[in-house]
Structure 1
Amino acid sequence: MKKKKLHVFQLVLSSALLILVSCGGANKMINDAGTIAYEVSPTVLEMKGDSVEVSVTVKYPPKFFNKNAVVVVVPAIVWQGGSSAYNKVTLQGEKVQGNGEVISYETGGSYTFKGKIPYKDAMLKSELILKSTVSIKGKDAIPLPDAKIADGVIATATLLQNEALAIESMNQFQRRQVISAESKINFLINQAVVRGNELTKEDMKNMKKFIADAEKDPNIELKNTQVIGYASPEGPEAHNQSLAESRQTAAQKAIARDVKVEMLGTAAGEDWDGFRQLMQASDIENKEIILSVLSKYSDGATREAEIKKMAAVYSQIAKEILPELRRSRIVVNAEKQGKSDSLIIALATANELTGDTLSIEEYLFAATIAKDQDEAAVMLTNASKIYPDNWRIFNNLGCIYVDQNKFADAQQAFANADNLSDGDKSVKNNLGVLAVKQGDLATGLEYFEIAQGAGSEVRYNMGIIKVKEGDYSSAVSMFGSNATFNAALAKLLNGDVDGATQTITKADEDENAAAYYLRAIIGARTKNVDMIVSNLKVAIQKDPSFRERAQKDLEFRTYFENQDFRATVR
C-alpha cells in the first residue's frame, strides 16, 4: 500500500514539475519579449490602391525560443474601436512536430511576413500591433505582450477626386449659317452659247425659288453669286481657258435678269478634277488605268495624249464624261440668321411640340446654355422624343445624368447612344466613366481601352484608375501635361514633389479645398511650416472636415506638437 502511494506521489510531483517547467518556459519568453527586434517596411504605413501593404521581419535572439513552443503571430492595424488583422503566422521550436517555421533555440532566428489588407477610413489614426500567443507542449496558449511596431496609415491617395471625364458630342450650331443653292448650264462642244432649255431645268428653277424665298425672309441675307466657267480637257489648253472664260460670261448674262446680287465670275479652264470625279463614279471599263494616268502625269497635254491612246475607252469617255464638263456652275450664297438664345430655350423646354421645331444642333446647343443641369436634361429629353434615332442626344443626356449621380438613367441613355452609334468610342468612354463612378474599376478600364483614340479624356480617365490601383508612375504618364488636382496628386504620390508643386500651381483650383490641403502636404514634405499653416487655414475655411483629418493625418506627424500647426487645426 505504501509503495502504491509513493508511485502516486511521484506521478503528481512529475506532473507538477512538468506544468511548472512549461509555464516557466512560456514565462521566460514573455519576460524576454523585449529582446525581440522588428524591422517594418514602410516605417509609416501607407494606403496604396485600396489596400495597406506591409513587410515585417521579426528577429528572435539566441536562447529565446523554447524548443517545445508554438508561437502564433498576428499583425493587426488597430484603431480606437476596431482593428483589421493580417494573416496569422505560426512559428515553432525545434522539438515541435508541425508545419510552422522553425526557430532555433541556440542561435535564434527570424521570419519575414508580407501581407496586405483593405484600407478603411478609420485607419487614418492607427497603429500596427504584433499580437502573439505562445503554447508549450500543446498547453493553453498564453499571450505575449503586444508590440507596437509602426504607425499608420498615410492615406493621401484618398484625396483623389473621382472626376473621370465624359465626352459630350459637340453641336454644330451656328448663329449665322451660310446656305446656298446651285445650278449649272451645259454647253455644246467648243461653244459658249446658252441654249434656252438650260434655263428651264429643275435645278435652275430651284435656284430661282431659293432666291425668291430668301428675298422674302427677314432672317436671310443674299450675299453673292459665283459663276465658274469650265472646259472639258480636250484640245489646246489655251483654247480651253478662253472657252471657259466665254462660258462664264455667257452664263452670267443669261441669269442677270433673275439674280440681282453681286456676281463673282471665275474661269477655271480645263476641269481635270471634275474629270477624275466622274471617272471614279463611272462603270467605264479599265477606268483604273485612266485614273493611274492622272496620278502619273500632271501636264494636261500629256494626260490627254496618253488617254487617247486607248481608242475604245476614249470614245466612251467622249460620250459619257466630257459633255458633263462643258459647263458653268452657278452658286448663290446667302447667310441665315439663327434663332435667339431666348427663343431656343423657350422652344427646347416647351412641354408641347410646336410647328417651330428645333433642329438637332439647336437642341444640343440649347443644353449648353441651360440655367442648370435639370433644365438641360428636360431639353435633351424633349429632343430625344423628336429625334429618337440620334445617338448624340442620348450621349449628352447620359453625361448630364452622370453629373447628377442618376446612374440608372445614365446607363439607359448611354446604352441607347451605344446602340444607335454602332459603338462610337466616345460613348464607350462615357460608359467607362459611369462604371468608375460606381466603383467598378475593372469594367471602367475595359471601356477606356476600347475608347482609345476618342480624345485626351480617355487617357486622363485611365490615369484615374491607375491612381486607384496604386500605379502612380503610369498615372503620371496618363495624365500627361494636364494641370489638374489629380495630376498633381499623382506626381506627389509618385515622389515628385517639385512636379506636384508646379502642377497644382498651374491648376485652376482656387475654389477646391482639397487643392489647398494638398499644398499643405507638399509643405510638410518640404519642411515648410508657413506653407503648411497658410494652406491648411484656407482648406479648413472652405471645407471644415479637413480640420479633423489634419489632426490625424500622419503627413503632418512631425508637426503635431508645433504651436502654429496646433493653433490652426484645433
Structure 2
Amino acid sequence: MRKTKFLSVLFVTALLLAGCGFGKMIPRYPEVIVKLENPDLENKGGKVDYKVTGSIPAKYMKKKATMTIIPTLIYEGGNYELTPIQLQGEKAKSVGTVIPYKAGGTFSSSGSFDYKDQYEEALIVAKAEAKLKKKSHTFDDVKLGEGISNTASRTGLMPTLKEKSDIGNGTNIILGSHQYKPEFATKTGVIYFEVNRYNLNMNLKLNKEQAAKDVVQQFIDFIAEGHVIDKIVVTGWASPEGEESRNQDLSKNRTAEGEKWFNKQFENYLKDYAKQNNLKYKDMPKPELVIQTKAAGEDWSGFEKAVEKSSIAEKNQILNVVRSQNSSEMKEQKIREMTDIYNEIKEMILPPLRRVEVAMTCNMNNFNDKEIAELVKTNPDTLKLEERLYGAFMTQKLNEKAIIYQAITETEEYQTDWRAYNNLGALQLNSYLENGNIDDLEKAKTNLNKANAVSPSNGIVLNNLAITEFLMGNRDIAITHFQESKNATIEPINQNYNLALLNIASGDYAGAKQMMNNKNCDYNMALVQLLEKNYTAAKTSLDCIQNKDAKVYYLQAVLAARTNNANDVIANLKEAIARDASYKATAKKDAEFKKFRKSSEFQALIK
C-alpha cells in the first residue's frame, strides 16, 4: 500500500514538471557548467576583467526555451549584476547563443567593471532563469568565486632622510641646504738666508729690499687682523748647488727659524691686542696653534723657473746640461761650475732660493667649524643664519638637529626663510616613521605648511608635504604635491619614482617599472613584479629589502599565498601583524588569502 502511494507521488510530480514544459531542464540544471575562467579576480587600474565560460549538456536545451545567466556580485549592502549571458534553443525567437538540443553547446562572455572597495569580500555567483512560452523558472545560484583582490592598491613609500645633494632614485625626505661657505685667505711671509747659513738676519741684502720688506709687513698686518686661523705651514728651502745632505739640514734648520719667527710675531700681536683692550696678557686665553713644518731641501724647481725667466742668452743650454745629469751630485757640480761662468746665476738666481716661507691660511668668517658646532648649541645668537644652518648640518644626532632648527624658527628675523621650517618638519616626519607617533606627523605637516607659505612652489617642501599626506592616507593630495614638486620653480625635484604610483594605479605596470628605473630591493618594484605574476623576481626584490616594515612582510605573505606556500603565508603575516595590528582586519577580508581562511593558524592570527 505504501509503495503504491510513493509511486503515485512520483507520477504526479513528473506530470507537474512535464506540465511546466521544461522537461528535464530543471532537475538536470546541475549538469550545466558555469565558471569563471580565472576565479582570482583582481583590481587592475580601477577595473576588474573577467570571463565567464560554460557548457550545456546534450538533450538539455528545449528547442523553444531561452535561458539568461547573470554573473552577479553579492556584497554587503547590495548586488551588482554583470552583463547577462543569453542562451536559446534552436527554434526560440530570441537573440542569444543557440544551443542545439541534441548536441548541447558552449558559451562565453567577457567584460570588465569598475572596482569598488565593497567588492573586496563579494561572493560571485551565476543567477539563471529559464523561459518557455509563458512559463519561467529561476534556478538556484551557482557559486563562481569569492573576493576580488585589491593588491594593486598596496603601493607604499619607504622614505629615507637625505640632504638634497645625496638624493637618488626613490622616496626621500629632503633637508634644505645651508649656504654657508667658509672664505679662506692665505698670506705668505718670506725671509731669506745667507749661503750655508740658517740664522735669521733681517739685515741681509735681500731682506732689506723694499719688495721683501713689504711682503713681511703684509704678513704681520694679516696676523693683526685677528682672523680665525685655519692652518700655518712653514717650509724651508736651500739652493741646489751645495751637497744634498747639507742642503737638507739647512732647509730643516731654516724651517725651525721660520717657526720661531712666526711665534714671535704672533706673540707680539697678542700683546698689542691685550694692551688695546685693557687686558692682562698673562691672563688672556691663547689660541692653540698647530704649525705644519716641512724641510723641502733643494729647490730644483725654483732654480729651473728662475733660469727660464732670466736674461742669460745660453739659458736653454744651461737647463739641458743640468737636466741631462744622472744624479743630484752631478747636477750640483754643474751648477757650481756655471756660477764661475755666469755671474747672474751666482748673484741673482741662487740667493732667493735660500729662504723660509711662512704661509698662514685664515677663515675670513668669524668662527671656524669647531666653534660653529659648539656655539650653535651653547650660544646660537652669536651666529648668523647660514652659520646656524651649517651648525645643524654638522650635527650628527637628529634630536640635536631638531633643537637647532626649532630655535631658528623661533627667531623672528629668520622666520622668512623656509629651510628651518622644512628641516624641522622633515626630522619630525622621519621621527614618525621611526616611532609611529602621530603627533610627530601632525607637527611635521604644520611646519611644512609654514615652509610652503614662506616659499611657495618649492620642490623640496612640496616633496616633503607629499610624503606627509601619503602617510596620512591622502594619496590623491600626495600625488598632486609630487607633481607640483617636479614642476616647481624653486628647487624642483625629479619625482619619476613617486609618480610611478600613478602608473601602478592605472594598471600600467611596464611604465611604472620604467619610471622607477627598475630599482633593486624596492617595495613598489616588488609589488609591480607580483602584479605581473613574475613571482621569482618579486621574491628577489622583497628578500633583499633592508629594515623590513609591516607592509613588506604583508606583501611577502601575499606572494606566498599566490605561490601556495602556506608556511610562509603564516610566518609573514605574523611579522606584519606584530608590527602593525591593523593587518589583522586587512588579512581577514583580503581575497588573496581565501584559500587559507579555514586554516586554524590563519584564524588564530586574525582574531
Letter in 2 for 1:396: N
Residues 427, 500 of structure 1: CA spacing in aligned structure 2 closer, same or farther, 3 A cutoff? Answer: same
Unpaired segments ≥5 residues, structure 1: 1-19, 215-220, 230-248, 273-327, 349-353
Residues 528, 258 of structure 1: CA spacing in aligned structure 2 closer, same or farther, 3 A cutoff? Answer: same
* Displacement after TM superposition at 1:43 (Å): 1.8
Query: Is the Cα contact below 8 Å between 2:67 and 2:131 reproduced in 1?
Result: yes
Residues 48, 346 of structure 1: CA spacing in aligned structure 2 closer, same or farther, 3 A cutoff? Answer: farther
Instruction: Work out which of the residue numbers 371, 378, 389 in structure 2 matches 1:361.
Output: 389
Alignment of 1:123-138 (within 5 A): 123-132=119-128
Residues 518, 435 of structure 1: CA spacing in aligned structure 2 closer, same or farther, 3 A cutoff? Answer: closer
Match of 2:174 in 1: 168
* Displacement after TM superposition at 1:537 (Å): 3.7
2:400 is the counterpart of 1:396? no
2:112 is the counterpart of 1:115? yes
Tell me how far apart the structure 2 counterparts of residues 384 and 30 of structure 1 sit (CA, whole Å). Answer: 85
Letter in 2 for 1:513: A
2:372 is the counterpart of 1:336? no
Tell me how far apart the structure 2 counterparts of residues 410 and 43 of structure 1 sit (CA, whole Å). Answer: 46
Tell me how far apart the structure 2 counterparts of residues 97 and 47 of structure 1 sit (CA, whole Å). Answer: 38
* Displacement after TM superposition at 1:360 (Å): 4.7
Residues 183, 41 of structure 1: CA spacing in aligned structure 2 closer, same or farther, 3 A cutoff? Answer: farther
Match of 1:509 in 2: 547
2:568 is the counterpart of 1:531? yes
Question: Given the two structures, how large is their TM-score scaled by the length of structure 1?
Answer: 0.57
Alignment of 1:234-383 (within 5 A): 258=265, 332-333=361-362, 336-339=368-371, 344-345=376-377, 354-358=381-385, 359-362=387-390, 364-365=392-393, 369-371=397-399, 378-379=406-407, 381-382=409-410
Letter in 1 for 2:475: G
* Displacement after TM superposition at 1:124 (Å): 4.2
Residues 209, 462 of structure 1: CA spacing in aligned structure 2 closer, same or farther, 3 A cutoff? Answer: farther
Secondary structure at 1:378 match in 2: helix
Tell me how far apart the structure 1 counterparts of residues 82 and 142 of structure 2 sit (CA, whole Å). Answer: 17
Letter in 2 for 1:344: V
Secondary structure at 1:182 match in 2: strand
Letter in 1 for 2:112: G
What does the per-residue CA deviation read over 1:149-187, in whole Å, with 9 as the maximum and x for residues that have no partner?
A: 12223344454434462341365699xx9763235899x
Residues 167, 78 of structure 1: CA spacing in aligned structure 2 closer, same or farther, 3 A cutoff? Answer: same
Secondary structure at 2:530 match in 1: helix
What does the per-residue CA deviation read over 1:9-38, in whole Å, with 9 as the maximum and x for residues that have no partner?
A: xxxxxxxxxxx99x9478987666545433
What does the per-residue CA deviation read over 1:247-284, in whole Å, with 9 as the maximum and x for residues that have no partner?
A: xx9xx99x9674685577998879x9xxxxxxxxxxxx
Residues 368, 142 of structure 1: CA spacing in aligned structure 2 closer, same or farther, 3 A cutoff? Answer: farther
Query: Is the Cα contact below 8 Å between 1:58 and 1:112 reproduced in 2?
Result: no
Residues 549, 169 of structure 1: CA spacing in aligned structure 2 closer, same or farther, 3 A cutoff? Answer: closer
* Displacement after TM superposition at 1:386 (Å): 0.9
* Displacement after TM superposition at 1:115 (Å): 0.7
What does the per-residue CA deviation read over 1:322-348, in whole Å, with 9 as the maximum and x for residues that have no partner?
A: xxxxxx996524682535878635667
Tell me how far apart the structure 2 counterparts of residues 199 and 92 of structure 1 sit (CA, whole Å). Answer: 107
Query: Is the Cα contact below 8 Å between 1:50 and 1:469 reproduced in 2?
Result: yes
2:69 is the counterpart of 1:76? no
Tell me how far apart the structure 1 counterparts of residues 358 and 72 of structure 2 sit (CA, whole Å). Answer: 84
Tell me how far apart the structure 2 counterparts of residues 396 and 445 of structure 1 sit (CA, whole Å). Answer: 18
Letter in 2 for 1:113: S
**What is the number of residues matched between the two proteins?**
447
Query: Is the Cα contact below 8 Å between 2:550 and 2:579 reproduced in 1?
Result: yes
Letter in 1 for 2:156: Q
Letter in 2 for 1:195: A
2:475 is the counterpart of 1:439? yes
The two structures, once aligned, show a CA RMSD in angstroms of 5.7
Question: Given the two structures, how large is their TM-score scaled by the length of structure 2?
Answer: 0.55
Tell me how far apart the structure 1 counterparts of residues 570 and 294 of structure 2 sit (CA, whole Å). Answer: 70
Rg (Cα) greater in structure: 2
Query: Is the Cα contact below 8 Å between 1:179 and 1:336 reproduced in 2?
Result: no
Letter in 2 for 1:38: V
**Identity fraction in percent:** 21
Residues 33, 526 of structure 1: CA spacing in aligned structure 2 closer, same or farther, 3 A cutoff? Answer: closer
Instruction: Work out which of the residue numbers 532, 544, 551 in structure 2 matches 1:494.
Output: 532
What does the per-residue CA deviation read over 1:511-540, in whole Å, with 9 as the maximum and x for residues that have no partner?
A: x33444444444444544443444444444
Query: Is the Cα contact below 8 Å between 1:152 and 1:554 reproduced in 2?
Result: yes
